[in-house]
Amino acid sequence: MPSLNDVSISSDSNSAPGQWNGSDRASVILREAAKLFSERGYGGASMQEIAGAVGITKASLYHFFKNKDEIHSTVVAMSVRRLLDLVEESTADCATAAEKIEAFSRAHATHLSESKAFYFASAEGYHDLVEPGMKLRVQRMRDGYEEKLRMFIREGVDNGEFRELDVKLAARALISCLNWMARWWRPEGPQSAQQLASDYVHLLIAGFRSD
Amino acid sequence: MPSLNDVSISSDSNSAPGQWNGSDRASVILREAAKLFSERGYGGASMQEIAGAVGITKASLYHFFKNKDEIHSTVVAMSVRRLLDLVEESTADCATAAEKIEAFSRAHATHLSESKAFYFASAEGYHDLVEPGMKLRVQRMRDGYEEKLRMFIREGVDNGEFRELDVKLAARALISCLNWMARWWRPEGPQSAQQLASDYVHLLIAGFRSD
Residue A143 Cα, gap to closest chain B Cα (Å): 15
Which residues on adjacent β-strands are paired with residue B162?
B209
Q: Is the pLDDT of residue A154 over 80?
A: yes
Q: Tell whether A173 is within 8 A of chain B (Cβ).
A: yes
Question: Is ipTM beyond 0.85?
Answer: no
Residue A203 Cα, gap to closest chain B Cα (Å): 7
| DSSP code of residue A188 | T
Q: Which of A126, A203, A205 to mutate to test the interface with B (most CBs of B within 10 A)?
A: A203
Tens of pLDDT, residue by residue over A88-132, are 999 999 999 999 999 999 999 999 999 999 999 998 888 888 889
Identify which has the larger pLDDT, A148 or A164.
A148
Distance CA A206, CA A158 (A): 17
Q: Which pLDDT does position A14 carry in this prediction?
A: 43
Contact between B173 and A200 using a beta-carbon 8 Å cutoff: yes
- In three state form, how does the secondary structure of chain B look? CCCHHHHHHCCCCCHHHHHHCCCCHHHHHHHHHHHHHHHHHHHHCCHHHHHHHHCCCHHHHHHHCCCHHHHHHHHHHHHHHHHHHHHHHHHCCCCCHHHHHHHHHHHHHHHHHHCHHHHHHHHHHHHHCCCHHHHHHHHHHHHHHHHHHHHHHHHHHHCCCECCCCHHHHHHHHHHHHHHHHHHCCCCCCCCHHHHHHHHHHHHHHHHECC
Nearest CA in chain A to B178: A176
Burial A15-44 (b: 16+ CB within 10 A, else e): ebbebbeeeebbbbbbbbbbbbbbeebbee
Q: Which pLDDT does position B211 carry in this prediction?
A: 52
Confidence grade of residue B171 (pLDDT, cut at 50, 70, 90): very high
First to last CA, chain B: 57
Nearest CA in chain B to A199: B169
Question: If contacts are CB pairs under 8 Å, which of residues 22-81 in chain B contact chain A?
Answer: none
Number of A/B CB contacts below 8 angstroms equals: 62
Distance CA B157, CA B76 (A): 33
Closest of A85, A120, A112, A90 to residue A196, by C-alpha: A112
Contact between B173 and A169 using a beta-carbon 8 Å cutoff: no
Tens of pLDDT, residue by residue over A165-190, are 899 999 999 999 999 998 889 989 99
φ/ψ of residue B129, rounded to 5? -65, 130
Distance CA A200, CA B116 (A): 28
Q: Which pLDDT does position A208 carry in this prediction?
A: 64
The arithmetic mean of pLDDT across residues A60-81, rounded, is 94
Distance CA B183, CA A8 (A): 27
Distance CA A133, CA A138 (A): 9
Distance CA B80, CA A80 (A): 34
Q: Is the pLDDT of residue A73 over 70?
A: yes
Residue A173: list chain B partners with CB under 8 A.
173, 177, 200, 203-204
Domains by residue range for chain B, with CATH: 4-208 (1.10.357.10)
Nearest CA in chain B to A180: B176
Q: Which pLDDT does position A20 carry in this prediction?
A: 65
Of B172, B181, B199, the CB nearest to A166: B199
Nearest CA in chain A to B207: A207
Q: Which pLDDT does position B32 carry in this prediction?
A: 95
The arithmetic mean of pLDDT across residues B53-82, rounded, is 94
